[in-house]
Amino acid sequence: MALLIVERPAKKLVSYRVVGPYQESIHSGFQQLMKWAARHHQTQNEWLTWFHDNPDITPPEALRADPSVCVADNFILDDAQGLALQTLPGGTYAAYHTTITDGNFEKVWREFYSQLLASTTYRPDGKACFEHYLSDGSNNGIWEVVLYQSVEKIPAIR
């Protein structure tokens, strides 16, 4: 898949924080979030996972992620039940659109970063990194996702 540089607006999210190995914790976070989303008629909105730690340097038991559903900018979270209202930053992002059929999200992230780090124009800026789910593969194992990493332009060498 090709790496693209895109501008994204800030997004208001309702999120459920999970801690632990991503492949184990994110699914349980989405189960909690989906119950809330069904009660509040938010199931047709965009779904994503916002990652806060690099699994190459953070121990698996300390990895933090926020399975999230996008909500309107004026949304008020009135019954939090372990949920948080937050804003995913807008800005410049590297985007990588792909389909995952074998459940190996880590492999796709490594491919994405391999291309991004080879870029001579942009580099990760550490502000935000997330998966935006275009399809729900929980039943058929086929996930269409866009991976996003916030980036900054690399200054030209003079």
Q: What is the pLDDT of residues 14-45, one digit of tens each?
A: 999 999 999 899 999 999 999 999 988 887 88
Distance CA 53, CA 104 (A): 18
Measuring CA to CA, how many Å separate 33 from each of 45, 49, 102, 126, 128?
12, 11, 24, 26, 20
Q: What is the pLDDT of residues 99-127, one digit of tens each?
A: 999 889 999 999 999 998 888 899 999 89
Asked whether the beta carbons of 68 and 15 are under 8 A apart, the reply is yes
DSSP class per residue in 59-127: -GGG-EEEEEEEE-TT------TTEEEEEEPPEEEEEEEEEESSS-HHHHHHHHHHHHHH-SSEEEEEE
**Residue 156: both structure tokens together:** 């030209």
- pTM here is 0.93
Provide the pLDDT for residue 2: 80
Pick from 91-100, 108-117, 145-154: least confident: 108-117
